[in-house]
Structure 1
Amino acid sequence: MDEPGSPRAIPDGRRHSLLHNLLPESLPLPPSFLETSPAVREILQRDIGECSSDDEESGSTHDHSSTQEGGEVKLAFHPNGVAYGCGYSMVPMQGFDLPVPNPHEIEESVAAELELLRDNDIVPHSSRTRQESVVEHLRNAFSGGSHDHLPTTRTETSPLLGSDDDGTEIPSTPPPQVVHELWEEAVLAGKLRTSWQREAKTLVSYSAPLIATFLLHYSVTIGSVLTVGRLGMLELAAVNLATMTASITCYVPVQGLSTCLDTLCSQAYGSGHKHLVGLQAQRMTWLLWLLMIPIAVLWWFSEPILASLVPDADTARLAAMYLRILILGMPGVAAFESGKRFVQSQGLFRATTYTLLIGAPLSFLQNWLFAFKFGWNFAGAALAMAVTQNLLPLLLAGYVWLVDGSQCWNGFSRRAFGNWGPMIKLALPGMIMIEAQFSVLEILTIAAGQFGTAKLAAQSVLVTVTSASFNIPFPLAIAASTRIANLIGAGLSDGARVTAKVAVISAGIVGLTNLTLLSTLRFHIAGVFTDDDQVISIAARVMLVCALMQIFDALAAVSHGILRGVGQQVIGGYANLFAYYFVALPVGLTTAFTLGWQLAGLWTGLTAGLAMVCVLELVYLYYSDWEAAVIQAERRMRSEDVNQELKPARS
């Protein structure tokens, strides 16, 4: 048995790499995977130092229990929260720093450990009846949490249905500390095994709520496109040009910059300084609002710029008008992105879902009222989008105020206008990477505009459909990333490998399903968005290429998720950049203009790029050393233990 704290040796024959002489001996992990980056420490230390006097005056105390618990939960070494709402057919980069576990993730980890222990007959199965389980599940659903409600101590009523090797009786639902001890013993003894059935069930349970939430969020965009499509071909073309311009100049940079809150807010919450969670969200919101001033000026005077990019002047005029109205929604976009991270860092993952359950239907209602009932037509659709963008953060704030999350909000503070330098330094890499990837779609949209209004209108239908379909494999990728990272953190490389295989096969099934739906229902799908026969014909024809793309889109998303699970998101980012700029764009522009395939050529290029991403990432994963990833995870956990010991001195 290895000495405690020493790197785990890799037994002979356990290296699953056929090219071990050509590839590195281990998966090289970025420094942020091993410990919190200096930028994060600098931000938090400054804020803690500035706020310490106020804390003493107010008599507030900091609860470090979540951090301490997080150090014990070996299955939750790599929490992977995600800000719901990324609904684009592209694989986005995640932040370069990792958040700490929150109580929600710790409870899920305990439940997952207990379930796997039961499956391996180390802990007896629970004696609860099915009816009791259903009642408890419903209670958890309406209480906003998915807790297993494990008893913290043994009581006279605790069931004692099993025993350990030394004769000590083990309850069917032991307390968390007992679960951790049994887990550690089972891992060291090599008793834990998983199956593809179990991992498939786990991935479904993880991804299903995410799919619902992602689709809810993207339905806001779908509602706008559906409304505009009923107004005419020209309006449909204009909304595509305006939406892509808004995404590349505002929405994507905002999303990229705010990814640093995934680390900052969760680190602040995990360290016990809950009031700093609200401070970080405030600071990012003010920064985003400030950056939106020049973007708003650009949108207001965008008509001559758009007119130089597309040949039709009327399309450029309508798109510019749409952008001017969307300026009203800019504050809401920034506030919602920060707000999502604010609640997620506290483990309130359902807050965004509940917000969208109200906001999404209201957006459809507003589109109907403004565009048709009030007769505002195209301007009404733009106004409905702007109103919805401002409504969502207000609904989220209402959840925090009335339901949960207010414990991390101490009101507005002047400190939100300071300490911006380290935060910007931390946020820029994520923004640049995401911006570089999404720029490909803007280039393809501008290229589509060169083929005429009908082609640009059809492009709007295709982008909307493929982006909506991407909201199925992308949550699956998040689930696979979380599960694989947790298993590797627990030293279960075999289980992580099983999960990776199940995830890839599941991605193939999802891709084939999307391919079948898009290819067989292509005329019906296009007809939902517009009544124009010419646009329907073009969209239905090109949708055959988009249908083929679904397989590679799903596989690329999941393979990138697996890379995140083993700490290799940087590899995936470089693979994406290479594939999009050196494969997708050259192939797309060549087939579109040189070969005369036009819109079909552009989507052929994107399909080729995604196919290249699949090849690069899956080959890298196939020849990677998973045992070495386990060793790196152990080193990271030891680094976290050292940082944990130093935290009291720092604060």
Structure 2
Amino acid sequence: MSSTYVHYSTPSSLPSDYALLSRYAAAHDLPPETSQPADEAEASGNAVEDADAYTDPRGVAINGTLRRKKSRRSSFPTSYLTPFNPTMGPLPDKSGHRSGPKAPEATENTPLLAPLVPRIEEECDAEDRVEPPNVLKMFKEEAAVLVKYTVPVFVTHLFEYSLVIASVISIGHLSTAALAASTLGSMTASVSGYSIIQGFASTLDTMLPSAWTSTQPQLVGLWSQRMAVVMAATLVPILCIWFSSESILLFLKQEPEVARLAAVYLRWAAIGLPAYAFNSISRRYFQSQGLFTVPTRIILGVAPVNAALNYLLVWGPEPFRLGFIGAPIATAISFNLISLMSVIYGIFFVPKTAWHPLTMRCFTSLGVLVQLGLSGVGQVASEWWSWELVGLAASQLGPIALATQSVLLVSASTTYQAPFALSVASSVRIGNLLGEENPKRAAVASKCAILMSLVISAVWSTMFMVFRHSWAHLFNDDPAVVTLVASILPLVALFQVFDGLSAITAGILRAIGKQFTGALLNLSAYYVVGIPFGVWLAFWRDMQLHGLWIGLTVSLVYCAAAGVWLCLRTDWNREVEKVRVRLEADKHSNGDVEGLH
């Protein structure tokens, strides 16, 4: 099993059903002197249903017609959400403050129809309109919101991991060659496929949350459609690599039989690759709307099916037993089931507020996604690949060091899921607040997330230090491995602090669209500082595995320190303005595209 797949392959987008609007009106009432009855407008062909902007920037009706907002479903099953009283658009208090986008003063150019503003309405957001809270109170409120968002993400990651574990366990009992081939196959899949997809999908962490809480929530669906176009193009070279993987692995001097079986593994795993890409988009689509428990429910349904399929297709009765290829087929089927259930959930159980009708607009503004996506690949994939390099270096130190590295990496990967889940929650919360034009709370949320990562890291570090002499027995009873693990665990305990901080700061950078900055941080931290220093200590200073982990720790100290410094220096008012400009540009481009049809 690829070590990086364990550490970094869990999806970074997930959803919750406590923050959806329960009702949507068809449109605001028009002033008597300017309104046009809907029936009359439809009869004259002048009413055009549109989920986007209603007028051009000058307030003139597009194409000489009066556009009417598409009717929304007025309600949906209450079993899927916690009731609350949503805020539709601006609701200022006596001081004029509100946590959503500021309503412009009415002028002669004010559009006749103002779109409704869907919100992820947290209790603390509603209180902001009554009385602006102090900073300490905001810290407590944001901590509560982030915990609420993080828990379902963390649970989903654990069950997502079970899809991989079931495959490894089922193949591991076939033969040593089969286990080696599945490990090589999954490592190749992670390096050449899954990491690329997750890197591109990280762009949606910037685009979707702020769009949802803006005056154009349908841009959530539009950006998701655009990302699907980018992903479709990205899958072509990935599939070419996977289907020619045997010759590539042989060129890299892999054992012929292992290379052949790994290539077989990848060809069957390719059945699930489009679904994996779709899932990385659909989860962010739900997540941006605050639906953090939707993927949890879906994965809870699919995980037992995946386990059953692994048994049935690898070890089951003769009519169903496929042996080695059964495991990648089971995983591919599971990915496709997740996709199918996501589509069903999106169609039948979630209002269409975030959805944009399928039009040629999904082929516009792709350059923005490609540019941010490449930076996202640099940020995400560089981290995955660095762990493969460290694992390769550890394999040169002998079987004891390799076994110890496996124990330490699995341990660090498991504890990493908590700060990683918090980083996902932070991206969503900060993005939503930027879309609501609430820079003060966005700043507090980012600082709160950083402090929470330190608390989480303190828990894991304490656990490793308390149980360091017996920790290795969870995985291996070899006395040499137990001793070596105990001697390196203090380093791993220190490593937790900076691993958590780097995860959180990466999430904050994604929320504000600074994937390129995150990519530069990771590339310099791992490939310029950490790995060369660790290899020098391990082989030239004869520090063995200790040297590699010192190098990793140094790289994360650098990455975390620079990330925290960048996040604390962020001008949140400027970030709000960047979101406003991006949304305005899309609104104007909508008018241009509509005029072409």
**What TM-score bracket applies, with the shorter chain setting the length?**
0.5 to 0.7
Match of 2:280 in 1: 337
Q: Displacement of 1:432 after TM fit?
A: 3.7
Residue 205 (structure 1) aligns with:
148
* Aligned-partner SS, 2:297: helix
Listed as ranges, the matches of 1:208-227 within 5 Å are: 208-227=151-170
Paired residue for 1:504? 450
From 29, 41, 49, the equivalent of 1:61 is 49
SS of alignment partner, residue 307 of structure 1: coil
Q: In structure 2, what is the Cα distance between the partners aligned to 1:243 and 1:597? A: 30
Paired AA for residue 280 in structure 2: E
Instruction: Give deviations 1:302-337, integer Å, cap 9, x for gaps.
Output: 4414535xxx77765664554344334333323323
In structure 2, the residue corresponding to 1:148 is in which secondary structure? Answer: coil
Q: How does 1:475-514 map to 2 (within 5 A)?
A: 475-483=421-429, 499-514=445-460
The 3 A distance-change label for structure 1 pair 66 and 506 is farther
Q: Quick one: distance in 2 between partners of 1:632 and 1:295?
A: 42
Deviations 1:83-109 (A, max 9, x none): xxxxxxxxxxxxxxxxxxxxxxxxxxx
Give the Cα–Cα distance (whole angstroms) in 1 for the partners of residues 523 and 392 of structure 2. 19
2:179 aligned with 1:255, yes or no?
no
Does the aligned pair in 2 maintain the 1:489–1:633 contact within 8 Å? no
Query: Cα–Cα, structure 1 residues 288 and 464, in superposed 2: closer, same or farther, change >3 Å?
Result: farther
Q: What is the letter of the counterpart of residue 50 of structure 2?
A: H
**Which residue in the other structure is 2:36 paired with?**
none
Report what 2:244 is aligned to: 298
Taking the aligned partners of 2:402 and 2:541, their CA distance within structure 1 comes to: 19
Counterpart-to-counterpart distance in 1, 2:292 and 2:146 = 17
CA-atom RMSD in angstroms: 5.0
The aligned amino acid for 2:85 is H
Unaligned runs of 5+ in 2: 1-43, 57-76, 97-116
Question: What's the secondary structure of 1:61's corresponding residue?
Answer: strand
Q: Which moved more, 1:328-337 or 1:518-527?
A: 518-527
Report the equivalent of 1:244.
187
Q: Does 1:604 align with 2:592?
A: no
Aligned counterpart in structure 2 of residue 354 of structure 1, from 289, 297, 307: 297
Report the secondary structure of 2:49's partner residue: coil
Q: How far apart are residue 249 of structure 1 and its match?
A: 0.6
1:554 corresponds in structure 2 to 500
Tell me whether 1:467 sits opposite 2:403 in the alignment: no
Aligned to 2:10: none
User: What runs of 5+ residues in structure 1 fail to find an aligned partner?
Assistant: 1-55, 69-138, 154-162, 167-174
What is the alpha-carbon distance in structure 2 between the residues aligned to residue 484 and residue 265 of structure 1?
11
Q: Separation in 2 of the partners of 1:237 and 1:382?
A: 14
Taking structure 1 as reference, are residues 376 and 499 closer, same or farther at Cα in structure 2, changes over 3 Å only?
A: same
Alignment deviations for residues 623-647 of structure 1 (CA, whole Å, 9 cap, x no partner): x3x6xx2442454466468658746
Q: Secondary structure at the match of 1:473?
A: helix
SS in 2 for 1:336: helix
Paired residues of 1:556 and 1:614 also in contact (CA < 8 A): yes
How far off is 1:536 after superposition?
7.0
Is 1:590 matched with 2:536?
yes
Deviation at 1:584?
1.3
| Distance in 2 between residues matched to 1:490 and 1:258, nearest whole Å | 23
Q: Distance in 1 between matches of 2:371 and 2:171?
A: 40
CA shift, 1:251, in A, is 0.6
Distance 2:186 2:304 in 1: 20
What residue is the counterpart of 1:580 in the other structure?
526
Q: Write the mapping of 1:518-537 to structure 2, written as runs, cut at 5 A.
A: 518-520=464-466
Q: Summarize deviations over 1:205-230 as a string: whole Å, max 9, x none.
A: 23222222222223322333444556
Q: Structure 2: which amino acid aligns with 1:364?
A: A
> Is the 1:237–1:460 Cα contact (8 Å) retained in structure 2?
no
Aligned residue for 1:365? 308
- What one-letter code is carried by the residue in structure 2 that aligns with 1:515? S
TM-score normalised by length of structure 1: 0.62
Cα 1:634–1:348 change in 2 (3 A) is: closer
- TM-score, L = length of structure 2: 0.66
Cα distance in 2, alignment partners of residues 227 and 523 from structure 1 = 31
1:472 is paired with a residue whose SS is helix
Residues 150, 424 of structure 2: 8 Å contact kept: yes
CA deviation vs aligned residue, 1:505-554 (integer Å, no higher than 9, x gap): 32222112222334555687656667888877766665554343212211
In structure 2, the CA distance between the partners of 1:414 and 1:573, relative to structure 1 (3 Å rule), is closer
- Looking at structure 2, the residues matched to 324 and 524 of structure 1 have their Cα atoms a distance apart, in angstroms, of 41
Letter of the structure 2 residue corresponding to residue 62 of structure 1 = D
Residue 214 to residue 57, structure 1, CA distance change in 2 (3 Å): farther
Q: Secondary structure at the match of 2:186?
A: helix
- Residue aligned with 2:84, SS: coil
Partner of 2:395: 449
Q: Which amino acid aligns with 1:249?
A: S
> Size of the alignment, in residue pairs?
498
Compute the displacement of 1:559 (Å).
3.5
Cα shift at 1:586: 1.0
CA distance in 1, matches of 2:54, 2:497: 41
Letter in 1 for 2:373: A
Q: Would the alpha carbon gap of residues 290 and 373 (structure 1) be closer, same or farther in structure 2, given more than 3 Å must change?
A: same
Contact 2:170 2:311 in 1 (8 A): yes
Counterpart position of 2:104: none
231-240 or 499-508, which deviates more = 231-240
